[in-house]
Structure 1
């Protein structure tokens, strides 16, 4: 599932942000009670607004807490479960809480633990304290400071361990709209993702064992939001591209329709399975050929015989081929999505000017 991050700032329009996210396939919200840049005196009334809006749109709300931050809203660890009355569905606890305190909370509300600090000894201590592990999930941090995000080998190893013990896992990707203070350098879990397309980063997190993916920063660009929405609704991957000028209208019309990668995936190409039946009877003359770069959109011409009309996308740099015409190019941001296109994957090209 996909989630957004909403921070307790007095100038934050929670209602519009959450309504928009809900309409676009996001079902989770992350927020925090200990952000140094915010005024804790405002937390309670802002949290009431946030929780009410989350309830209205049937979105889960996970709140990052500590014993100190709870005091800002007049609560303690002993009665933190009262936050459920405000629409909070889970609490992320990181530091300052004992095993016994976590166990007591877990009997009343879903608990999310720092994924990087969970080990077998800690899990055993929780079980001995009476915790139902089904009420516990793992939640990675985001890292505002450049070069401090996690590396993939450690991340994968950690996730494998957590899944082995039956825990679901959450992590963050950066946004590509408004960036979060104080450094405005993205809020990813993995350092590799700091300047990545958020949607491509989310797809990679899925391959690394993450169950729930949150946008760490406050906003996404509209086109990126559409990518998340299409995938959440239909499992559709939207790929931005630039098409060649003076392209045959019938070919262009088909290019911008939904299609699927073939179930028997090629090593070097995405093969759009509906293209040859639709375009095979069009006489496609060869055009001078150049090297086919990764992300090149191609159509087989009449020199390819019965393959004429098949549209493909290059997954790597390929030599020139006189039997194949280059008719477009996937954008660099969408090239990052290509490795995650599975057999039979639904996808759709869209023109990006």
Structure 2
């Protein structure tokens, strides 16, 4: 089961605001909270008391809190990586180790008596995980997450991201990555040029970012990296179907009511005999073979266009297609709509026999 999550930064906000944000996320079915304790400057007891109250509140809503603590804070608080009782007493679901050890220490930590999850950094594409696996960890308590990047152009390339993820999927380790809210205003650091794992996501709508991560098949959990995301963004993310790729779509004024019904209401899957030019969903031509499909809007075809064959195409009339390449239109194909420009790249992630649907943007 895939989970959605948020991030909070208590050092840069207030307890009341964080609680309200957690409660809002819970309302939309979010299950995870990422937080980090970057320093204990000031009144240490007060800081830790606030931190614990926040975690307790999230736990009462059955949410999982993952705590990232900077190495210098371990020293300041007198915490040993070999004694994780501090985090258990906080009520944390687990701890994130941004900086690793030799592999043996991480493996030992996964056998902690509290059942705490040990989350390791996924973004470096080294043999780090293989090394941990050699020391026989309790894999039930070992998870991975990517970094996030506030500096524009510093986020991961997609090819590197895939390489990193595949190292974890090979060992069946649960994975997570971060998306960027365009309504949020802060993260853990002063730089605020967005906050995401993949650089290609920085300017994309948050739902498109999440669709992409799901479509890769490489990421289990998706967290919003910056705070505070809007209620509309949370609601949109909560409505995603992880089992079916949904394309935001514009329908043209020339579309008929029957064509609109085919696009929006019928069940679509990518026919298995693959073409370089078209994704074909053929059931509508069977279901509606007795109906009329007059020629309407038949311009030349662009990648991302949504097509329905008209009656000039004989037995193909009523078949829905998505264009993968530009093509000349012979007049036999009605262009009824178009996938949102920001989501056309998602066509590359729809595989033969994959299920898909359209939603009006």
User: How high is the TM-score relative to the length of structure 1?
Assistant: 0.81
Cα offset, 1:12, TM superposition: 6.2
Matches within 5 A, 1:111-260: 111-116=118-123, 119-120=126-127, 124=131, 128=135, 131-165=137-171, 167-181=173-187, 182-205=190-213, 207=216, 209-218=218-227, 219=229, 222=232, 225-226=235-236, 229-232=239-242, 235-245=243-253, 247-260=255-268
CA–CA distance in 2 between the matches of 1:115 and 1:304?
50
CA–CA distance in 2 between the matches of 1:319 and 1:31?
53
Preserved contact between residue 307 and residue 336 of structure 2 (Cα < 8 Å): yes
CA–CA distance in 1 between the matches of 2:329 and 2:41?
55
Cα offset, 1:10, TM superposition: 0.7
Q: Structure 1's 202 and 265: CA in aligned 2 closer, same or farther, altered over 3 A?
A: farther
Preserved contact between residue 103 and residue 128 of structure 2 (Cα < 8 Å): no
Q: How big is each residue's C-alpha offset from its partner over 1:319-341, in whole Å with a ceiling of 9 and x where there is no partner?
A: 22311111112211232332222
Cα offset, 1:76, TM superposition: 1.9
CA–CA distance in 2 between the matches of 1:271 and 1:46?
55
* Secondary structure, counterpart of 1:336 in structure 2: helix
Preserved contact between residue 3 and residue 28 of structure 1 (Cα < 8 Å): yes
Q: Name the structure 1 match of 2:324.
A: 315
Structure 1 window deviating more from structure 2 (98-107 vs 315-324): it is 98-107
Preserved contact between residue 124 and residue 164 of structure 2 (Cα < 8 Å): no
Preserved contact between residue 261 and residue 272 of structure 1 (Cα < 8 Å): yes
* Secondary structure, counterpart of 2:65 in structure 1: strand
* Secondary structure, counterpart of 2:51 in structure 1: helix
Tell me, which stretches of 5 or more residues in structure 1 are unaligned? none
CA–CA distance in 1 between the matches of 2:173 and 2:297?
55
Cα offset, 1:144, TM superposition: 0.7
Structure 1 window deviating more from structure 2 (298-307 vs 37-46): it is 37-46
Preserved contact between residue 129 and residue 168 of structure 2 (Cα < 8 Å): no
CA–CA distance in 2 between the matches of 1:262 and 1:141?
34
CA–CA distance in 2 between the matches of 1:225 and 1:119?
36
CA–CA distance in 2 between the matches of 1:252 and 1:122?
49
Matches within 5 A, 1:37-116: 43-70=47-74, 76-77=79-80, 79-95=83-99, 102=106, 105-108=109-112, 109-116=116-123
Q: Structure 1's 283 and 31: CA in aligned 2 closer, same or farther, altered over 3 A?
A: same
CA–CA distance in 2 between the matches of 1:38 and 1:261?
58
CA–CA distance in 1 between the matches of 2:345 and 2:331?
27
Q: Structure 1's 28 and 146: CA in aligned 2 closer, same or farther, altered over 3 A?
A: same
1:269 aligns to 2:278 (yes or no): yes
Q: Structure 1's 270 and 26: CA in aligned 2 closer, same or farther, altered over 3 A?
A: farther
Cα offset, 1:61, TM superposition: 1.9
Preserved contact between residue 67 and residue 95 of structure 2 (Cα < 8 Å): yes
Q: Structure 1's 75 and 198: CA in aligned 2 closer, same or farther, altered over 3 A?
A: farther
Structure 1 window deviating more from structure 2 (328-337 vs 249-258): it is 249-258
For the aligned residue pairs, the C-alpha RMSD in angstroms reads 3.6
